[in-house]
Amino acid sequence: MPWSRFDSNYTAPTGGRRITYCEALREGIDQAMGNDQRVFAIGLDADDKFGVFGSMSNLSFPERVLGTPISENAMTGVALGAALSGLRPIHVHLRVDFMLTAMDQIVNYVAKWQDMFDHQVKVPLVIRAIVGRGWGCGAQHSQTLHGWFAHIPGLKVVTPATPYDAKGLLLSAVADDSPVLFLEHRWLYKNTGDVPEAIYTLPLGKANVLHRGERLTVVASSLAAIHALTAIEAHGLDVDLIDPRTIKPLDLDTIVASVQRTGKLCVVDYDFPFGGFGAEVCAAVTERAFASLQTPPTRIQFPDRGMPSSGVLERAYYQTPDRLAAAFGALIEGAPVARDLIGAGA
Amino acid sequence: MPWSRFDSNYTAPTGGRRITYCEALREGIDQAMGNDQRVFAIGLDADDKFGVFGSMSNLSFPERVLGTPISENAMTGVALGAALSGLRPIHVHLRVDFMLTAMDQIVNYVAKWQDMFDHQVKVPLVIRAIVGRGWGCGAQHSQTLHGWFAHIPGLKVVTPATPYDAKGLLLSAVADDSPVLFLEHRWLYKNTGDVPEAIYTLPLGKANVLHRGERLTVVASSLAAIHALTAIEAHGLDVDLIDPRTIKPLDLDTIVASVQRTGKLCVVDYDFPFGGFGAEVCAAVTERAFASLQTPPTRIQFPDRGMPSSGVLERAYYQTPDRLAAAFGALIEGAPVARDLIGAGA
Amino acid sequence: MERPRTIRRDDGLWLLQRMRLIRQASERIARLYPTDVMETPVHLCIGQEAVAVGVCRHLTDADKLFLGHRTHGPALAKGLPLPKLMAELYGRSTGCSHAFGGSMHLIDLEHGLPGSSAIVGGSIALGVGAGLASKLAGADFVGVSWFGDAATNAGVFHESLNFAALQRLPVLFVCEDNGYSNVMPKSAHAAFDIPSLADEYMTTMTADGTDVLAVHEQAGEALAQIRSGGGPVFLHCPTKRWMKHQGHERCDIVGNGIDEQRDCPIRKLERVLLDTHLCGAGELEQVRLSVEQQIDAAIAFAESSPFPTPAQLEVV
Amino acid sequence: MERPRTIRRDDGLWLLQRMRLIRQASERIARLYPTDVMETPVHLCIGQEAVAVGVCRHLTDADKLFLGHRTHGPALAKGLPLPKLMAELYGRSTGCSHAFGGSMHLIDLEHGLPGSSAIVGGSIALGVGAGLASKLAGADFVGVSWFGDAATNAGVFHESLNFAALQRLPVLFVCEDNGYSNVMPKSAHAAFDIPSLADEYMTTMTADGTDVLAVHEQAGEALAQIRSGGGPVFLHCPTKRWMKHQGHERCDIVGNGIDEQRDCPIRKLERVLLDTHLCGAGELEQVRLSVEQQIDAAIAFAESSPFPTPAQLEVV
Ligand SMILES: Cc1ncc(C[n+]2csc(CCOP(=O)(O)OP(=O)(O)O)c2C)c(N)n1
Ligand SMILES: Cc1ncc(C[n+]2csc(CCOP(=O)(O)OP(=O)(O)O)c2C)c(N)n1
Ligand SMILES: [Mg+2]
Ligand SMILES: [Mg+2]
């Protein structure tokens, strides 16, 4: 099988080749297609010269890259039908918000197909989408929704934070025989990092510890993980920072072990506040590590409303490393966290 | 305004007229339409002689009851457009699963419209759907999803458990100037209870305490609330049972006050286990009542997979009052809860 | 201008056997259904057998068929063994979907049935995906999207036809038009004429869906065009639903206008077989009896099969 | 067979003024855009002004117009005051959406613009809802659904047309067909002919979308039919997009074949006004200048308006 000859390497190398998150994705897609000719890519503007913010430009197998009409729902069904007929599609969306037109296919079809037939069939389907704020695009072009998708049984949800993770997780997602949603934050695209040229995979369901510390466990994924790391490093905070890498399956073991050591948990979740990923981590950790908790777990999330357009509001809607540092500091000291650091909706 | 002349009465009367949940809904809809001629009903099979499992049969204003093609997505947009043009639509779905074809409209349009325009407009739109298991219908005809919808800012989510609540909350939902999802469990339709003939409303965001007790707080809504009540009454358990009535807005104050008294929390949530309503209640209560908690909050939910068809499996997928009683008993005694009582996915 | 009604004997017998299999199995299900041995909804296709059987005669096991909720007929026509269907309806582990799917979710990978769906419309896109897979892989199988008249209401219908046509995919769209969406007549759910709309996207053919020879002939033409690289074809088959939308009862919708003598696809075919002396009356009766035996055996199999256990709910 | 090009003077001047307002405001936005004073995407409609203006001349404030992402033209044509548009683009509290919407989400309840949406296709259904509201309330306003050629790819397009036709609703569908979905030409996104498909559901008319008099005339006929209870009408307006899909630059797509002299709707109208002696050259220049002053004033208003404060994120 083409997928068995990968290196697996769970820690980011250093001192190697530095490329952007976007280039890492592009390379992962290109190598996936080179490695297995059943892999193809499909999506609105997948084949145009801008190539989904550059993540699909100049691929080596253009005959396996298909543009589509504005028909996201049927296109998801087409990808599923192709996956059930022996291929391994990567379906791509310029924005996760557009995927909402395809929820019947994603929730009723893609997520359920294996359960409905007692896993007699494989559904090797990757759905990529860019998430998060753009440039004053407003409430319909800025959602993240990773926790929302994870609520639905049958969907794996992957949220790479670094270029290394982007490539390794993308290759794992394509190698997986079940549906995987792959959510890439728009604001990570230009970040750089060390990425091996060789083909490699990172396991789905294994967290990455981005920083070691003793006084607080912070769980954060995607852009939030990068902001949290910046905050911790800039202020020299004694914090354990865990990026779960995949929202589902969720590596609770790593998180629980950390909380058992630090006694405190904060989840930074760039997403809507009700339910979702933040609530799941807090609830699950409390279930499993209640005796270790010195203070109640804290969630830092978006306000409970759609993203506004004006830059002034858009910047306030998201956290910044500085505001995160202030919140972590307060939690470490056992001081109350200012309301605007938690998100107005919490 | 037609909506200001209602009685408000937050406790169910006793000894009055007993009707079914279904009849209570029908009466509420009929009275809403009689009270305000801007109210109309629309939906697939809304106008047929079976009238959405009987909840819409023989309405008094058939000219304001419209059947539709299988076009749930556009029909949601039609309802929204009508709401923005001065009417007050009730859009109905025979199953919540069919609403998944309309998620673009529900999440990107209906939920966002007021936020995008800084609440200059009213969106008096009620979306009703029947949720939960049917008769071996399988994974695409049995979802509940209340916590999933509540994750999206801009949507209120109402889950009536009793005939009294069904009518009172329905009338409140129609009177509300923002979008309300109204989710009715299929297995409650034949339950009976006391329901006043007069028009009355119940506030959205105010919980109902179904049973008073001191040793455990149970939060459960819709069918789960009825199962929990049956369990508590049959076994004489010393439990505070809170039905939030509306998943969003959520009456956390009532729940927190109870947990501060009992020291223990169990959420029975007939829905998928990751994130969602159960996680939100546990996380939020832990945030606010950490010092009062003697044991970690517990969630009882579905297994983390789609509903199977065979009756044998369908019955195991849901809890029963007996199994709930066993779980509550264990929690009260501080004993571990058997794994199959929590749902295989937890 | 009546065409001469002829058929090869092997084709004719196959068509008859499969139609009888579907009809008699459906009648048996209807008889058993009130006893609640089958805890799952059933959408029977009595009266519509000609469509399933006429089309499937031309399909190979490699061709991929995607169905909606009205599954039994086309699934059996495609090759799903009857015992696996019955066991599925009985909620037993030996069912084609291991009791996880029920009546609306049938699968048979061996015979090119990768699953079916109960959300109206969506599976149309899956057949297109199969066509795309065939084209990209340079394979020669065909994707088949199977749906009713009211599935044409759904947006995914339009999106699927458009994409199949843009990409000239090897896809056969089969619209089993029984004129109703549950109790709603076509005039209330579609403002357009179905074949005329379909013709805006692709080659469209119509065949009388109560006449298996007509369906067989048109489907043959359609598939020949598709297999020779001519792009997708839409096959519209007006037919009649004798039963209620769901369940075991005959339908009583006023004006349904069904004449069980005149409209019966099985009687129509039998008449041709007799008239053209391809079969004698005894042989026809033999077909009926042998199908009845198959049904007895399938039910016995289902009844003696084990139920799944709750432990199977464990997440994989 | 060229028709005589005539127009009433008041209509002609209105059409000219509104087209100039849209054009000159768009050119000004394009000039300012690289300075980042507007933190929001802009989808300009330079070259397409005739469609917005020709249709909106026939609409009242009671008629409800629902737009997609390419909003500025039709919103201004419908009556949105320019200062409120500019302030919105500048992210100020005085914007029509109080800085919460940005370029793609404009609203003006006074002038029958209950909002616009950036998810392609969906707003088509909202116009149908307005038509339904009108019918149910016994009112006489019309719902207008406004969209581009590629919005016809989306399933909601088909569903919306079908429902409007089934219910014979007072709805005008306006398809502003610039032949492109971003950089994808129509041949790659639609396998069907748009007006021919629309005609399967309802009366369909076509008008040259670079010729405001043609649009004005057809839209007048369409709305007369709708207002007299004749049901929905589809108005197809082929036109040309001069700019990139988004942003401030001219488009360089090969074969776009735009001739800014020949294809300019403003020049075309000015020529008729001059040829028919309805206006003199001086008066035309006066229109241009007065629009330029309006723009200066609108920008000054926007620039001097306050930003919203983060406290406004508090959930209501
Ligand atoms: C999206 C969706 N909406 C509604 C339903 C409920 N439903 C099941 S079958 C059906 C009628 C389908 O009619 P048609 O497509 O003509 O197929 P037929 O039943 O006549 O074979 C409806 C409305 C559904 N399953 N899915
Ligand atoms: C559902 C959805 N998919 C994709 C997009 C991205 N998108 C925005 S505008 C556009 C092109 C629309 O073309 P058309 O409808 O012809 O309008 P035009 O831009 O030409 O005015 C696309 C693909 C979107 N906004 N919504
Ligand atoms: Mg039908
Ligand atoms: Mg266009």
Best mutation site among D181, D183, D187 for ligand 2 pocket (most ligand atoms within 8 Å of CB): D181
**Shortest Cα–Cα distance, D191 to chain B (Å):** 22
* Token pair of C10 as six digits: 């092997």
> Contact D153/A69, CB-based, under 8 Å?
yes
CA B146 to chain CA centroid, nearest Å: 7
Instruction: Kindly report the backbone phi and psi dihedral angles of residue B336, in degrees, each rounded to the nearest multiple of 5, phi listed first.
Output: -70, 145
Residue A197 is among the residues annotated as catalytic for this protein: no
Q: Cite the beta strand spans of chain A per DSSP E.
A: 7-8, 18-20, 39-43, 65-67, 88-93, 126-131, 156-158, 180-185, 192-194, 200-201, 208-211, 216-220, 239-243, 246-248, 265-268, 298-300
Interface size, chain A vs chain D, as Cβ–Cβ contacts under 8 Å: 126
**Chain C residue nearest residue B75, CA to CA:** C154
Which pLDDT score, from 0 to 100, does residue A335 have? 85
ipTM: 0.98
Per-residue pLDDT of chain A (346 residues; tens, 9 = 90+): 566 656 666 777 887 899 999 999 999 999 999 999 999 999 999 998 788 999 999 999 999 999 999 999 999 999 999 999 999 999 999 999 999 999 999 999 999 999 999 999 999 999 999 999 988 999 999 999 999 999 999 999 999 999 999 999 999 999 999 999 999 999 999 999 999 999 999 999 999 999 999 999 999 999 999 999 999 999 999 999 999 999 999 999 999 999 999 999 999 999 999 999 999 999 999 999 999 999 999 999 999 999 999 999 999 999 999 999 999 999 999 988 876 666 543 3
Which run of H or of E encompasses B7?
Answer: strand B7-8
Residue type (1 letter), A188? L
**pLDDT computed for residue B344 by the predictor:** 40
Question: Is-contact A181 A12, C-beta < 8 A?
Answer: no
C37 to A180, B281, C28, C87, C301: CA distances (angstroms): 38, 40, 12, 11, 14
| Closest approach atom of ligand 1 to CA C151 | 15
CB C264 within 8 A of CB C229: no
- Residue with CA nearest ligand 1 atom 11: C181
C19 with C25: CB under 8 angstroms? Answer: no
List of chains touching C (3+ CB pairs within 8 A): A, B, D
Across the interface, whether the CB atoms of A85 and C128 are under 8 A apart is answered no
Q: pLDDT (tens digit, 9 = 90+) per residue, C183-206?
A: 999 999 999 999 999 999 999 999
Say how many Å lie between the CA of residue C177 and the centre of ligand 3. 5
Residue nearest to atom 17 of ligand 2 (CA): D148
CA-CA distance, B196 to A193, in Å (whole number)? Answer: 67
**pLDDT at residue number C1:** 44
Contact assignment for D124 to B74 by CB distance below 8 Å: yes
CB contact under 8 A, D114 and B73: no
* Contacts of A305 by beta carbon, 8 Å cutoff, 6+ apart: A344, A345, B115, B153, B154, D313, D315, D316
Among residues D306, D299, D303, the alpha carbon closest in space to that of D83 is found at D299
Using alpha carbons only, give the angle D157, D161, D165 rounded to the nearest 5 degrees: 175
Model pLDDT, residue A109? 98
D82 lies in some domain: yes
Contacts 24+ apart (CB under 8 A), A230-236: A230/A321, A231/A321, A231/A322, A231/A324, A231/A325, A231/A328, A232/A325, A232/A328, A234/A321, A234/A325, A235/A325, A235/A328, A235/A329
pLDDT tens digits, residue range C237-273? Answer: 999 999 999 999 998 875 568 898 899 999 999 999 9
How close D102 comes to chain B (CA, Å)?
A: 9
Out of B91, B141, B146, B185, the active site residue is B141
Please report, in tens digits, the pLDDT of each residue of chain B (346 residues total): 566 656 666 677 887 899 999 999 999 999 999 999 999 999 999 998 788 999 999 999 999 999 999 999 999 999 999 999 999 999 999 999 999 999 999 999 999 999 999 999 999 999 999 999 988 999 999 999 999 999 999 999 999 999 999 999 999 999 999 999 999 999 999 999 999 999 999 999 999 999 999 999 999 999 999 999 999 999 999 999 999 999 999 999 999 999 999 999 999 999 999 999 999 999 999 999 999 999 999 999 999 999 999 999 999 999 999 999 999 999 999 988 876 666 543 3
Interface test with D, best of A44, A45, A70, A342 (most D CBs within 10 A): A70
Q: Which residues in chain B have Cβ-Cβ distances shorter than 8 Å to A276?
A: 151, 275, 279
Q: Answer whether residue D4 is part of any domain.
A: no
What are C259's two structure tokens?
């004449």
Residue D80 falls within a domain, yes or no? yes
Dist. CA A56 → ligand 2 center (Å): 19
Question: In the predicted model, what is the mean pLDDT of residues D96-115?
Answer: 98
Structure confidence by residue, pLDDT tens digits, D195-242: 999 999 999 999 999 999 999 999 999 999 999 999 999 999 999 999
> Residue C278 belongs to a domain with what CATH number?
3.40.50.970
- What is the predicted pLDDT for the residue at D157? 98
Q: For residues C275-292, b (16+ Cβ closer than 10 Å) or e, as one string?
A: eeebbeeeebeebeeebe
Give distance in angstroms: CA of D173 to centre of ligand 4. 15
- Whether chain A has a CB inside 8 Å of the CB on D215: the answer is no
Q: Which of B69, B86, B113 sits opposite D133 (nearest CB)?
A: B86
D102:A137 CB<8 A: yes
Tokens for D282, please give them. 């001086």
Residues of chain C with Cβ-Cβ distance to A77 below 8 Å are 122-126, 128-129, 156, 160
Assigned token pair, B279: 């996680």
Contact B112 A140 (CB under 8 A): yes
Which 8-state DSSP code applies to residue B4? G
Given a contact cutoff of 8 angstroms between Cβ atoms, the answer to whether D227 and D139 are in contact is no
Question: d(Cα B32, Cα B182) in Å, to the nearest integer?
Answer: 15
Question: Hey, what are C142's tokens?
Answer: 């065909």
Which residue range(s) make up the domain with D112? 9-301
- Strand locations in chain B (E): 7-8, 18-20, 39-43, 65-67, 88-93, 126-131, 156-158, 180-185, 192-194, 200-201, 208-211, 216-220, 239-243, 246-248, 265-268, 298-300
Q: Both tokens of residue C234?
A: 């839409």
Nearest 5°: CA angle at A103, between C41 and A126? 110
Higher pLDDT, C289 or A341: C289
Q: How far is the CA of C70 from the centre of ligand 3 (A)?
A: 10
pLDDT value at position A345? 38
Q: Which of B101, B110, B151, B157 to mutate to test the interface with A (most CBs of A within 10 A)?
A: B151
Asked if B45's CB is within 8 angstroms of C102's CB, the reply is no
| Ligand 1 surroundings by CB, under 6 angstroms | B 44, 70, 72, 98, 101; C 69-70, 118-120, 147-151, 178, 180-182, 245
Flag whether the pTM goes above 0.95.
yes
**Nearest Cβ partner for D310 among A74, A304, A316:** A316
Residues C26, C28, C30, C35, CA torsion sign:
negative
Distance (Å, rounded) from C-alpha D74 to C-alpha C35?
63
- Report yes or no on D306 lying in a domain: no
Residues from chain C that touch B49, judged by Cβ atoms under 8 A, are 183
Ligand 2 pocket: which residues have CB below 6 Å? Answer: A 44, 70, 72, 98, 101; D 69-70, 118-120, 147-151, 178, 180-182, 241, 245
Q: What is the pLDDT of residue A51?
A: 84
Fill in the DSSP letter of residue C243.
B
Would residue B146 show up in a list of annotated catalytic residues for this protein?
no
Q: State the count of interchain CB pairs (< 8 A) between C and D.
A: 58
Phi, psi of C212 (to 5 degrees): -65, -30
Q: Evaluate if residue D55 carries a pLDDT over 90.
A: yes
Element spanning B265, H or E:
strand B265-268
How far is the centre of ligand 3, averaged over its atoms, from the C-alpha of C171 (Å)?
21
Q: Which pLDDT value is given to residue D1?
A: 43
Residue D157 has what DSSP assignment? H
- Write down the pLDDT at residue A3: 64
Tell me if C312 is assigned to some domain. no
Distance, CA C149 to ligand 3 centroid (Å)? 5
Cα–Cα dist B140/B129, whole Å: 14
For residue B246, the CA-to-ligand 3 centroid distance in Å is 38
**Number of domains comprising chain D:** 1
Rounded to the nearest integer, the mean pLDDT of chain C is 96
Residue D310 lies in a domain: no
Q: Within an 8 Å CB–CB cutoff, is residue C165 touching chain D?
A: yes
Q: What is the greatest pairwise CA distance in chain D?
A: 63
| SS3 label, residue D18 | helix
Query: C38 near C299, Cβ under 8 Å?
Result: no
Report if residue C191 sits inside a domain. yes
Whether the upstream peptide bond of residue B249 has omega within 30° of 0, thus cis, is yes
Strands B156-158 and B180-185: what pairing?
A: parallel
Domains of chain B, each with CATH number or no CATH: 14-194 (3.40.50.970), 208-342 (3.40.50.920)
- Chain B nearest CA to C228, separation (Å): 34
Catalytic residue among A72, A184, A280, A314: A72
Q: How far apart are CA B289 and CA D229, in angstroms?
A: 62
Q: Which two tokens stand for residue D134?
A: 């009108």
Residues of chain D with Cβ-Cβ distance to A98 below 8 Å are 119
pLDDT tens across C7-30, in order? Answer: 999 999 999 999 999 999 999 999
How many beta-carbon pairs under 8 angstroms link B with C? 125
Task: Report if residue D309 sits inside a domain.
Answer: no
Q: How many helices (H) and strands (E) does chain A have?
A: 12, 16
Instruction: List CB contacts (< 8 A) between B116 and chain D.
Output: 97, 100-101, 105, 115
Q: Say what the pLDDT of residue B338 is.
A: 76
* Partners of B40 in the β-ladder: B89
- Name the strand (E) or helix (H) holding B169: helix B163-175
Q: Which chains pack against B, by 3+ Cβ pairs within 8 A?
A: A, C, D
Alpha carbon nearest to ligand 2 atom 21, residue: D148
